[in-house]
Amino acid sequence: MMKRYSDDTQPDKRKIETQVAGLKSIITWYANDAIQECREACGGKGYLLENHIADLKGDVDIFTTFEGDNTVLLQLAAKGILSDFRAEFNSAGFTSVLKLLQTQLTDKLTAINPLYSNKVDAEHLYNPKFHKHAFDYRNRRLTYTLAMRIRDYIKKGVPAYQAFLKVQSHLLALGKAYSVELSYSIFCDHIEGITDLKYRALMEKVGCLYALDQINSDARWFLEQGYIGNTKSKAIRQRVERLSTELRPHIEVLVDGFGIPEHCMTAPITK
């Protein structure tokens, strides 16, 4: 993100600010969830001061509100997505924007049929094209329905500010969906540059686990939209468990990949 922000050929930084707002939120929430999992996995030893988990938990927790409250930042990210046509909310031009979004959704929906929504073979579920399609569809669908709701409120005479207040939960859902899609896209772009085929295959498996876990965690939404069926939802959950098992033997390599300095690994529990 720093590299993108420093690119002088892209003078408009608003898009990057939207991206940073969303990524900061999901990263710090993820850090909180991860440290809690680690604490519980260590049992009573996770409470011991000498193992530093309590200190780490305190440090991580503050970042959900530090440098911007995560909830507010996700709202900011969602509004940034709508910013390209926010000025058209009160004009006839907004209708054309909605038609464009609807057309894009219709194009995506052509692939969503009973055969696709219940396709469960490993080649399909592990394919990044499926993951990107799912994230892109969710992002577009949430953008379209959010824009429709705001338009309907404004048509009823509700001021734009009040209209946004009435769709807060929708804004948060769009902000998170956008951020997840962005993080996965950046990850996929990065692993394309890995020349070592062994490590590349390992990272592809990590990315696949992330994507399927995200789809699984929002399975209710995908099921409601008819994007996945019951059979596929169950298969995705099983694949998440299987990938976790397959990655377990590689945990040392994956942790070493963060390059944590030795002097930071002094807790007795790390030995």
pLDDT for res 111: 52
What is the DSSP code (8-state) at residue 267? -
d(CA 127, CA 131): 7
Q: Residue 262: is it exposed, middle or buried by C-beta count within 10 angstroms (0-12/13-18/19+)?
A: exposed
Distance CA 105, CA 29 (A): 30
Q: Taking 60 as the threshold, does the pLDDT of residue 47 lie above it? A: yes
pTM for this structure? 0.86
- Lowest mean pLDDT across 7-16, 23-32, 116-125, 216-225: 7-16
How much is the mean pLDDT over the chain? Answer: 86
| 80 vs 201: which has the higher pLDDT | 201
DSSP for 157-220 reads T--HHHHHHTTHHHHHHHHHHHHHHHHHHHHHHHHTT---HHHHHHHHHHHHHHHHHHHHHTHH
Instruction: Cite the DSSP H helix spans in 118-167.
Output: 122-125, 128-155, 160-165
Q: What is the pLDDT of residues 193-250, one digit of tens each?
A: 999 999 999 999 999 999 999 999 999 999 998 899 999 999 999 999 999 999 999 9
Residue pLDDT, tens place only, 141-171: 898 888 888 888 888 888 878 888 899 999 9
Q: What is the DSSP letter of 9?
A: T
Q: What string of DSSP letters covers 22-33?
A: HHHHHHHHHHHH
